[in-house]
Structure 1
Amino acid sequence: MPFDHNDHYHRLLLRRLPEEGRKKGREEGRRALDVGCGTGRFARRLAARGYTVDALDPSAEVIAEAEAMGGGPRYRRADVTATDPPEGHYDVITCLASLHHMPFATVTRLRAALAPGGALLVLGCYAGRTRRDLVAVPANAAARAAVHVSDRLRGAARPPLQSPVRQPDMTLTDIRTEASRLLPGSEVRQLLFWRYLLTYNNA
């Protein structure tokens, strides 16, 4: 069924964009990097907020579909682990369900690309199950059923192409330990649907 766990958290991520731009209405001209952008759904939401968005993904197939959808971001086929983003350049860097496809230490490369006052926002996946995940099972089933019924009633077209899926190998405890070591001052918050939100602000 077409319920997307990552899309579910788009609004949460948008609320975590750097405060200065939102409060003063100066988002125009601000720069964003979306790592592992897939077909560009979140990159387009950033562009709609006035950000100039560089959207990277290593899959030629999903980049082609993202470009076909348009919407403003500058899409590029690239592997961020083999690419050096410009240092101190981006006001916000986002990484949705893609960090577990690369070494966790890649966050240091992303941190270096943040402008002063910029934010790194990682919506990530973790391995294993916690007590809180028991709540996610019925919530997940209900959400998937609701989206399925809604799509059938609307006669929705086929869902967009999905990026390759890989199971994460770091537990939530591992992630918190490494985030504390590599990104001092960062916050890791557990979410429903087997996700976490890592937030780092470049003071």
Structure 2
Amino acid sequence: MPFDHNDHYHRLLLRNLPPHGRTALDIGCGTGRFARLLAARGYEVDALDPSAEVIAEAEEAGGGPRFRQADVTKEDLPDGHYDVITCLASLHHMPFDTVTRLRAALAPGGSLLVLGCYAGLTPWDVVASPANAVARVAVYAGERLRGDRTPPLKAPVHEPDMRLPQVRAEAARLLPGSRVRQLLFWRYLLIYRRLPRHTEGRG
């Protein structure tokens, strides 16, 4: 019974987009669902994923983003270019300090939005398990009513190895001023906003 935890938080991510943004980079874009939402909001979107299979499906679906098979840890990202960089359930597939490369690619006033996965259990996970079961049943029932039978292609899965306190500590060290908010369904939201050009270097 499919229930996509990442899709569940698309609206939360969209609410945290910077105002008046034009350029976006979606890291680990998979089949491109969130990248297409960004494009629908008027962004020029570069969407990267290391999996050739999911990129092929994303390109077939189209929708505006520029999809490309690429490993962001080896990619030369343009400095200070993107108004928003999104990373949905993909940061744990790479070294956490990759966020410094993403930070450098942000335009002044731009935002880095990470929907991340953490290892281990927290008190919230006691709530998440029954909520997850209810959501899965609801999605399954909806798909049965619509006659859907073919599950969507999923990108390769890698288990996270950083617990939430480690994520908070590394985010504070590498992205000063960032915020990490715990979410249901074993996720967290990390938000980092680069200072506008006229305020950088102050304080």
TM-score bracket for this pair, using the shorter chain length: over 0.9
SS at match of 1:106: helix
- Tell whether the 8 Å contact from 1:84 to 1:109 is kept in structure 2 after alignment: no
Tell me the equivalent position of 1:50.
42
Q: Percent of pairs identical after alignment?
A: 76
With normalisation by structure 2, the TM-score equals 0.95
Corresponding position: 1:17 with 2:9: no
Distance 1:157 1:67, change over 3 A: farther
Cα deviation 1:77-111 (Å, max 9, x = unaligned): 00000012100000000000000000000000000
Runs of 4+ in structure 1 off by over 2 angstroms are none
Which TM-score applies when normalising by structure 1? 0.95
The aligned length equals 195
Partner of 2:131: 139
Aligned equivalent of 2:7: 7
Q: Residues 24-79 of structure 1, C-alpha deviation per residue, up to 9 Å, x if partnerless?
A: xxx5xx10000000000000000000000000000000000000000000000000
Q: Secondary structure at the match of 2:45?
A: strand
CA distance in 1, matches of 2:122, 2:179: 18
Q: Deviations over 1:128-164 (max 9, x none)?
A: 0001110001000000000001000110241221000
CA distance in 1, matches of 2:144, 2:154: 20
Aligned-partner Cα distance in 2 for 1:181–1:119 = 17
User: Which of 138, 142, 145 lines up with 1:150 in the alignment?
Assistant: 142
Structure 2 letter corresponding to 1:43: A
Structure-1 residue corresponding to 2:198 = none
Within the candidate set 163, 171, 193, 1:201 is matched to 193
Question: Partners of 1:192 and 1:132 in 2: how far apart?
Answer: 7
User: After the TM superposition, which residues 57-76 of structure 1 pair with which residues of structure 2 at under 5 Å, given as runs?
Assistant: 57-76=49-68
The one-letter code sitting in structure 2 at the alignment partner of 1:153 is: L
Aligned residue number for residue 96 of structure 2: 104
Matched position secondary structure for 2:119: coil
Partner of 2:84: 92
Q: 2:69 aligns with which of 71, 77, 80?
A: 77
Alpha-carbon distance in 2 for matches of 1:146, 1:112: 41
Long gaps (5+) in structure 2? 196-203
Task: Give the letter for the 1:9 counterpart.
Answer: Y
Aligned equivalents of 2:77, 2:25: Cα separation in 1: 9
**Matched position secondary structure for 1:105:** helix
Q: Which amino acid aligns with 2:8?
A: H
